[in-house]
């Protein structure tokens, strides 16, 4: 059993980004980058399945600038076996990414593709579902538990109001939710070992679907801020304000 | 211009998010149809027919559609989509699952979690956990759009649209529904509640969450929310999570108890009309967005607050 895990390099989710004053986008110069948290959960899940003897190989793939090699190295240090990077210096969209990943999947022939449910930069929440549709595979989005059986997977998913359990015939696409697992920290020896693991670098020119952009960004602005509020000194004052000033209770 | 809204429902009741999505669709300009997919969904279809601005309801009803599985649902939507310019779904867990699948089948890009409609092909949507707003125009021949329900009011009722039955799709049955654990909830639904009371890591434990957050929510007649930290610590279930990766809410009153105010939490609630924060840390970032902040130990403040609300 082989598992393919697409990973994305994004801005560190703990830093507050700055919007450029001219409305042309988000200022990414000298911003700390990291592996998308949901992709990290996907890598962890794949490694756990391999460690449990359910899978033989974990292949990570990223689409992004040369620097995305760092993201792949992070996944290799966690325990992934090998990596593929499609070098794309310009912006990409989920549909193009899903098409490129489809071709990687057709070459690699994985039984499961585990994808983060969304990237914390564009917050699209699309790639996994699109990839499943293009491959004609079933999907289990927002997974909080994955169990593998003979030719099937049982997945518990987070839905509005609770949880749902599906049984899916392999091959499948799974997208990860927060509670699926807590990713490990890579140990120093594993970080050293990861440096020797192979990264197969492909040229964007071989993936023309990535350049087929369908959306045009007209402007990017900072959201309107909230007017500064006040501090109240007591519960009585709070309730009085909510009743007579804000009139919300 | 024709618009197809995909109804989100639980088999018997149409979600409030669908009525909000119809409002968003009205601002796109065009004839609106609603597509209801499920099994035994007559009640949902007749409810959809009552929504204002809806010209027609399409209903696909078959046993294989009983659980809203993404594969058969997306296949039906993609088949019907040829007759429409915009295919619109609420950004609920159902809408988020099916819409990108539909978009890929139609070979178009999706516009996710739209908060404002500029025109039929141009939309505003938040990125980076709501720290930036992007205006994007789609160059595709038809558009797949998901709508953030909290950004639009629900459309009113009083319409009488005709209901037309359509064929269900036959797709290979690769997925079996095994069951669901849906929390029976007497409280208002989180994303449409007028009042939301949320607890954070500061609440300290699952028991204390039950003893503090829930009684205050019930006193105010509100829904219960939680920060990601509280969910991660096991104090509250994941479907209560408010934030970038959880639910986005915009109630009239949002009460944050023991929530520090991480960027990703603020993304889920900063469009609330009035925000109240109670936290013992005077420097907590939540106070920067709170209209009324109280620096206090919540274990004393919340019982006092409930007592104060009991007076009068």
* pLDDT tens digits, one per residue of B140-193: 999 999 999 999 999 999 999 999 999 987 778 899 999 999 877 789 989 889
- Give the best residue of B110, B182, B253, B269 to mutate against chain A (max A CB count within 10 A): B110
- Per-residue pLDDT, averaged over A191-216, amounts to 97
Q: Do B228 and A223 touch (CB under 8 A)?
A: no
Residue A89 has pLDDT above 90, yes or no: no
Ordered alpha helix ranges (H), chain A: 37-51, 68-78, 94-108, 127-135, 188-194, 235-240
Q: Do B139 and A214 touch (CB under 8 A)?
A: yes
How distant is the Cα of A111 from the closest Cα of chain B, in angstroms? 14
Contacting residues of B for A94, CB less than 8 Å apart: 100, 109-110
**In this structure, is residue A200 part of a structural domain?**
yes
**In this structure, is residue A219 part of a structural domain?**
yes
**In this structure, is residue A55 part of a structural domain?**
yes
* Structure confidence at residue A224 as a pLDDT band (50, 70, 90): confident
How distant is the Cα of B107 from the closest Cα of chain A, in angstroms? 8
**In this structure, is residue A156 part of a structural domain?**
yes
Neighbour-count burial of A209, counting CB atoms closer than 10 A to its CB (0-12 exposed, 13-18 middle, 19+ buried): middle
Q: Which candidate from B239, B245, B289 shows the least CB-CB separation from A162?
A: B239
Residue A235 has pLDDT above 70, yes or no: yes
**In this structure, is residue A249 part of a structural domain?**
no
Calculate the average pLDDT of chain B.
95
For B152, the 3-state DSSP assignment is: coil
CATH code of A148's domain: 3.40.50.620
Q: Do B175 and A166 touch (CB under 8 A)?
A: yes
- Position B312 scores a pLDDT of 66
**In this structure, is residue A191 part of a structural domain?**
yes
- Per-residue pLDDT, averaged over A40-47, amounts to 98
Domain encompassing residue A162: 2-244
- Per-residue pLDDT, averaged over A170-187, amounts to 96
Predicted TM-score of the model (pTM):
0.94
For residue A180, what are the CA distances in angstroms to A34, A83, A125, B234? 20, 23, 17, 13
**In this structure, is residue A227 part of a structural domain?**
yes
- Position B171 scores a pLDDT of 77
For residues A157 and A163, give the distance between their C-alpha atoms in angstroms, rounded to a whole number: 6
- Percentage of residues in chain A having pLDDT higher than 70: 100
- Position B184 scores a pLDDT of 73
- Position B293 scores a pLDDT of 98
How many helical (H) and strand (E) elements, i.e. helices and strands, does chain B have?
Answer: 10, 16
Q: Do A130 and B274 touch (CB under 8 A)?
A: no
For residue A47, what are the CA distances in angstroms to A54, A58, A101, A198, B141? 10, 7, 20, 17, 41
Q: Do A222 and B132 touch (CB under 8 A)?
A: yes
Contacts of A225 (CB under 8 A, 6+ apart): none
Residue A29 has pLDDT above 70, yes or no: yes
Interface A-B: count of C-beta contacts within 8 A: 256
Q: Do A14 and B100 touch (CB under 8 A)?
A: no
- Per-residue pLDDT, averaged over A222-226, amounts to 88
Contacting residues of B for A161, CB less than 8 Å apart: 10, 182-183, 185, 239
Contacting residues of B for A165, CB less than 8 Å apart: 177-180
Contacting residues of A for B71, CB less than 8 Å apart: 138-139
**In this structure, is residue A62 part of a structural domain?**
yes
Low-confidence ranges of chain B (pLDDT < 70): 312
**Structure tokens that stand for A210 in this block:** 């990535």
Q: Do A133 and B122 touch (CB under 8 A)?
A: no
Q: Do B220 and A249 touch (CB under 8 A)?
A: yes
- Position B83 scores a pLDDT of 95
- Position B93 scores a pLDDT of 96
- Position A244 scores a pLDDT of 94
Domain count, chain A: 1
């Amino acid at each position: 059993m082989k598992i393919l895990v697409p990973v994305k390099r994004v801005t560190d989710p703990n830093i507050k980004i700055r919007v450029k004053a001219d409305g042309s986008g988000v200022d990414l110069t000298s911003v700390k980058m990291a592996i998308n948290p949901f992709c990290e959960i996907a890598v962890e899940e794949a490694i756990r399945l391999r460690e449990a003897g359910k899978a033989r190989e974990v292949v990570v793939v990223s689409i992004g600038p040369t620097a995305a090699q760092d993201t792949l190295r992070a996944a290799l240090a966690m325990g992934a076996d090998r990596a593929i990077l499609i070098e794309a210096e310009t912006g990409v969209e989920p549909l193009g990414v899903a098409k490129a990943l489809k071709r990687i999947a057709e070459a690699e022939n994985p039984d499961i593709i585990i994808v983060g449910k969304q990237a914390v930069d564009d917050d699209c929440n699309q790639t996994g579902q699109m990839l499943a549709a293009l491959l004609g595979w079933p999907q289990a989005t927002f997974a909080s538990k994955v169990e593998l059986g003979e030719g099937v997977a049982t997945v518990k998913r987070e839905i509005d109001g609770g949880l749902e359990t599906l049984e899916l015939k392999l091959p499948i696409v799974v997208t990860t939710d927060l509670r699926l697992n807590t990713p490990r920290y890579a140990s120093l020896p594993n970080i050293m070992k990861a440096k020797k693991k192979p990264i197969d670098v492909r040229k964007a020119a071989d993936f023309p679907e990535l350049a087929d952009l369908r959306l045009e960004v007209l402007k990017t602005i900072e959201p309107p801020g909230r007017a500064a509020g006040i501090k109240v000194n007591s519960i009585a004052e709070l309730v009085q304000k909510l009743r007579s000033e804000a009139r919300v209770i | 211009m024709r618009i197809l809204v995909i109804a989100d429902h639980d088999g018997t009741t149409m979600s409030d998010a669908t009525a909000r999505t119809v409002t968003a669709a009205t601002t796109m300009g065009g004839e609106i149809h609603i597509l209801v997919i499920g099994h035994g969904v007559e009640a949902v279809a007749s409810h959809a027919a009552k929504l204002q601005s809806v010209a027609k309801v399409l209903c696909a009803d078959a046993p294989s559609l009983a659980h809203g599985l993404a594969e058969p649902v997306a296949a039906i939507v993609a088949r019907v989509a040829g007759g429409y310019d915009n295919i619109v779904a609420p950004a609920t867990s159902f809408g988020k699952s099916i819409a990108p699948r539909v978009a890929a089948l139609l070979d178009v890009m999706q516009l996710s979690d739209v908060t404002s409609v500029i025109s039929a092909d141009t939309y505003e949507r938040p990125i980076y956990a709501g720290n930036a707003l992007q205006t994007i125009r789609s160059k595709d021949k038809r558009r797949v759009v998901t709508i953030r329900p909290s950004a639009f009011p629900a459309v009113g009722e009083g319409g009488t649209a005709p209901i037309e039955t359509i064929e269900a799709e036959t797709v290979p049955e690769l997925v079996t529904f095994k069951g669901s654990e849906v929390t029976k909830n007497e409280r208002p639904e989180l994303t449409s509640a007028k009042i939301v009371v949320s607890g954070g890591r500061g609440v300290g434990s699952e028991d204390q969450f039950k003893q503090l957050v829930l009684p205050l929510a019930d006193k105010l007649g509100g829904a219960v929310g939680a920060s990601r930290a509280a969910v991660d610590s096991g104090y509250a279930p994941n479907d209560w999570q408010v934030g970038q990766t959880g639910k986005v809410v915009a109630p009239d009153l949002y009460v944050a108890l023991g929530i520090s105010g991480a960027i990703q939490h603020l993304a889920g609630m900063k469009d609330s009309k009035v925000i109240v924060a109670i936290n013992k840390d005077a420097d907590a970032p939540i106070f920067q967005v709170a209209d009324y902040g109280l620096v206090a130990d919540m274990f004393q403040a919340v019982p006092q607050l409930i007592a104060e609300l009991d007076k009068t």
